[in-house]
Structure 1
Amino acid sequence: MQSKLSFKIYTTVQNVPEDWNQLAKKNIFLSKEYLQILETAAPQNMDCCFIGLFQEKELIGICVSQFLDLSQISSFGERDHCLRTKIRNFVFKRFGSRVLILGNNMLTGQNGIAFIEKKQNKSLFKLLKEVANALEKKYQKKGKKPHLTIFKDFSETEITNFNLPEFDSFYRFSTQPNMIFNIKHSWETFDDYIADKTKKYRDQFKRARKKSDSLDKQKMSLTEIQKHQTEIHNLYMNVAKKAAFNTFYLGENHFEIFKKNLKDHFLFYGYFENNKLIGFNTLIKNGNDIDTYFLGYDDKYQKEKMLYLNMLYDMIGYSINKKYKRIIFARTALEIKSSVGAKAVDTFGLIKHNNPILNAFVAKTFKYFEPKLEWQERNPFK
């Protein structure tokens, strides 16, 4: 007979169990230090909760949830102006503006749930469904009943854990893949990586580097991030607003709070032209992985200096030289990430509309609003 399973929802990191970080040790994005960022510097339209899963009194699982109110977003993105986009935006505002996510919508990949490995079984996934039910009721009491409930970003293997009657009402979906760059053992230095490329892609690298000769790249401290905070936010917003679809925008102090909490695990690089900040990128050390985070740039310099491509090369160079095993390049810009050697890995999720009538149409409408992305995979290596 199995001992009793239960869960507890926390609204502040201060109250989570003392041994929380024991379960988070393989993923910095579940650590108390990172969750403190979500608590203090999450986007304005996002509310975060932290969930402990228990067997009797033992903490055997941890989970992050995010509630998004899309009605607070002035723009979902300014890149596409087609009729499909206008219809999608109207539908989301009217019928899907309140979204409950079990997982982390600010990252790509499974960064929202962790179990003690020996305890992982079907009953824990049933318990996650109970957690979702409790969170739905919690927001309903506040007059914010979620329209949509989503379990986010599982691998093809992980998603099979949800093959349970409790999830029959959910639609299984896959959107843009996660672009993952695996670092070969034979690459002792960045030069080894360049030497492994075909002539076409070596020439591309040389051309990009020549274009960026005049730029000064600087690793920025907390003080320097604070000093340039307004420019940083403007550069971030310039890129963010060009996305096909946004569910949130970062606050101006987000990177400052990030640096304060994660310290040396968070790297912030500024790109300067004649002492003017024209772009930045961010990296997070996560065990054997480097996770790329948000970036920003001035469009003029992006085109002139091939800035984005140079940023990708810099991220790769750092990760190889520091002996990391993978770079998580996340979604978007699939083709250019493919051109530097990243591979597409499909991720899956579950979605349900909490109106049973509208839920019957989720499968059809999802395919309409998320058409299959056409892009050409590249292979830059010999």
Structure 2
Amino acid sequence: MKLLTIPKIEELPSQEQWNNYTISREGGSEISTIFLASIEQAFSSDFQFNHIAIYDNEELILGCPIYVSSNINLEIILPDNFLNRLIYYWRKLDRSFLLYKVMFIGTPLNDELDIFVKTQEPEKCFQLFTKELARLQKAYNADLIIFKNLIDQSLLKYLNRYGFFGVNSLPNSIINCDFSSYEYFLNSLDARKRRNINSKLRKAKNVGYDVQIKFGNDLDLDNLFILFENSYLKSKYKFERINIGLFRYLIEKLDREIIWINILENNYPVASSCCYIEKNSLVMKRVGIDYSSSIPFIYFILHYETIRYAIQNSLKSIKLGPTAYEAKKEMGASLQSTYLLIKHENLVFNKLLPIFY
């Protein structure tokens, strides 16, 4: 086996193999070479990038993107407990307290793990892989290595012997949309949730709003960017900052069509969801809100109309992603568990960290 580490995906000699593997996995186009080249350009000033490829003879058997980010809040990766809250309030006094430099296995724009493995000798492959991760961690002087959200823990059995440990991460929110109409969807909810949704919709309609569906580049990019920036600034979870480069990339490079579901007030967008279709699901990738809008419950209204769009277009579910769980459960969402794999560069701290989970 041989290993290759490259800073730019365009330098990969086996791009066709890489893409053949990635398109066969769910969400695979999010680590296609076109995707990776685009985010390298869009986020060149925000992150440091690398890509690992392992070959058995001439066959590509493992591939994954890596990015390094500075000043990551430790409490984001900790469970919501006393320690988490203590760190949060202490940082109000010392803004630099426990801000880490992190080497992520994955990409800035994907919430799930971005790695593919195809080998009959996984232990030998992962031994080579983890040795290279340790070298890169030292080269970047990174405090933590984090494998982004896993849907299952199949990789953990190969990685925990090299010092990685698995912890619960931010769950994904999923809404079942396999209904013949929006009314049937509402009727599937319990009476309290149904009354809650109908009440919010009624109050918003009394103020007045319109729904606009746009595709690809048929939109006012600069105005929508402001909405997404608003949501980033308001959110506690600040792993990656949305920038105008992201939108340029989405429109020009992503190998699938983007659907923009917008809420209009006086013909002007005041809320937007950036979505795409993955198999039979609508992935709600990013949300942008004008919090000064006079439309009440605008965050909820945007989600309700996105659900309506999914049902009208015969999609089976919506992937809402992490955060705002109580609000999303009120809309009928269920939670899908995900996990992080973590390794701290300090061996003593690495032994202590699992105690807090």
Q: TM-score, normalised by structure 2?
A: 0.83
**C-alpha separation in 2, matches of 1:252 and 1:130:** 36
Matching residue of 1:153: 149
Q: Which amino acid aligns with 1:150?
A: I
| Residue 172 (str. 1) matches residue 166 (str. 2) | yes
Q: Which amino acid aligns with 1:335?
A: E
Matching residue of 1:113: 115
Q: Is the 8 A contact 2:144 2:342 kept in 1?
A: yes
Q: Which amino acid aligns with 2:158?
A: F
- Partner of 1:99, secondary structure, is strand
Q: Is the 8 A contact 1:7 1:52 kept in 2?
A: yes
Matching residue of 2:102: 99
Q: Is the 8 A contact 1:217 1:270 kept in 2?
A: yes
Matching residue of 1:205: 197
| Residue 261 (str. 1) matches residue 253 (str. 2) | yes
Deviations 1:256-296 (A, max 9, x none): 22111126532222222112221111112223332221111
Matching residue of 2:277: 285
Structure 2: gaps spanning 5 or more residues: 77-84
Deviations 1:161-185 (A, max 9, x none): 336422xx3343213212123444x
- Partner of 2:315, secondary structure, is coil
Q: Is the 8 A contact 1:159 1:349 kept in 2?
A: no
| Residue 22 (str. 1) matches residue 20 (str. 2) | yes
Q: Which amino acid aligns with 1:153?
A: N
- Partner of 1:202, secondary structure, is helix
**C-alpha separation in 2, matches of 1:84 and 1:65:** 27
Map 1:156-305 to 2 at 5 A.
156-162=152-158, 164-166=160-162, 169-184=163-178, 187-213=179-205, 214-221=208-215, 223-225=217-219, 227-229=220-222, 231-262=223-254, 264-301=256-293, 304-305=295-296
Cα distance, 1:119 vs structure 2: 4.3
- Partner of 1:250, secondary structure, is coil
Cα distance, 1:88 vs structure 2: 5.1
Q: Is the 8 A contact 1:38 1:48 kept in 2?
A: no
Q: Name whichever of 331-340 and 194-203 sits farther off.
A: 194-203
Q: Is the 8 A contact 2:260 2:273 kept in 1?
A: yes
Map 1:337-376 to 2 at 5 A.
337-364=328-355
Give the count of matched residue pairs: 341
Q: Is the 8 A contact 1:96 1:147 kept in 2?
A: no
Matching residue of 2:82: none
Relative to 1, partners in 2 of residues 1:355 and 1:199: Cα closer, same or farther, differing over 3 Å? Answer: closer
Q: TM-score, normalised by structure 1?
A: 0.78
- Alpha-carbon RMSD across the aligned residues, in angstroms, is 3.0
Deviations 1:300-352 (A, max 9, x none): 33x73322212222222333333334322111010121122221122111222
Matching residue of 1:133: 134
Relative to 1, partners in 2 of residues 1:257 and 1:157: Cα closer, same or farther, differing over 3 Å? Answer: closer
Relative to 1, partners in 2 of residues 1:358 and 1:240: Cα closer, same or farther, differing over 3 Å? Answer: same
**C-alpha separation in 2, matches of 1:329 and 1:127:** 36
Deviations 1:240-270 (A, max 9, x none): 1222241331212321221111265322222
Cα distance, 1:115 vs structure 2: 2.4
Cα distance, 1:20 vs structure 2: 1.5
**C-alpha separation in 2, matches of 1:253 and 1:200:** 42
**C-alpha separation in 2, matches of 1:182 and 1:121:** 36
Q: Percent identity?
A: 19
Matching residue of 1:376: none
Q: Which amino acid aligns with 1:175?
A: S
Deviations 1:186-221 (A, max 9, x none): x23333322323333333332233233322222335
Q: Is the 8 A contact 1:221 1:268 kept in 2?
A: yes
Structure 1: gaps spanning 5 or more residues: 77-81, 368-382
**C-alpha separation in 2, matches of 1:290 and 1:36:** 24
